[in-house]
Structure 1
Amino acid sequence: MADCLKAKPAAEEAKKMTPQQQKMGTCNTEATGKGLKGDERKTFMSNCLKAEPAATDKKDLTPQQKKMADCSTEAAGKELKGEDRKTFMATCLKKAA
């Protein structure tokens, strides 16, 4: 039951993210996906955050695509891999918006 109470503020917090915070989440997810660490990760993050937004910015995504990106960012933050990531993503995507 305590987990249910924690989930709502996290969802509300995600809605309040600035474009820069969203970009940081996306860059972080990419860096984690590439397995970057140390100086290599720092360099990648710096370049990624300086880069202009891609043509398909989050503003252009459908609500489902935005939700998938948010769930993916959260999974990356939790460093989930394999079956744990699949299970988390399935649960996250089923949650009501």
Structure 2
Amino acid sequence: MLNAQCAPSDKGFNVTSWWGLLAPKGTPQEVINALNAEINKGLKTPAMQESLLKLGADPLGGTPEQFKQHIHAELARWKQVVLESGAKVD
């Protein structure tokens, strides 16, 4: 996972952008693990680190399980923000 964080907003919450790769449902776990290992290896190279840091990104990497937890946490966080805002779909 890559993460780029902005300053806290005037409403008191931080806004972050993050990127990651997802595979289709049913992709064998061994394929996911192999892809994850190679992506993490690439994120650790000096050239990739330098390029991403210049863009303001923090190349975190991690496990598929950590990324899944991050996605679920973000969904819950933004659901709450939307509910508290009173936003409605037209």
> Given the two structures, how large is their TM-score scaled by the length of structure 1?
0.28
Q: Higher strand share goes to which structure?
A: 2
Q: Higher helix share goes to which structure?
A: 1
> Given the two structures, how large is their TM-score scaled by the length of structure 2?
0.29
Indicate the structure (1 or 2) with the bigger Cα radius of gyration.
2
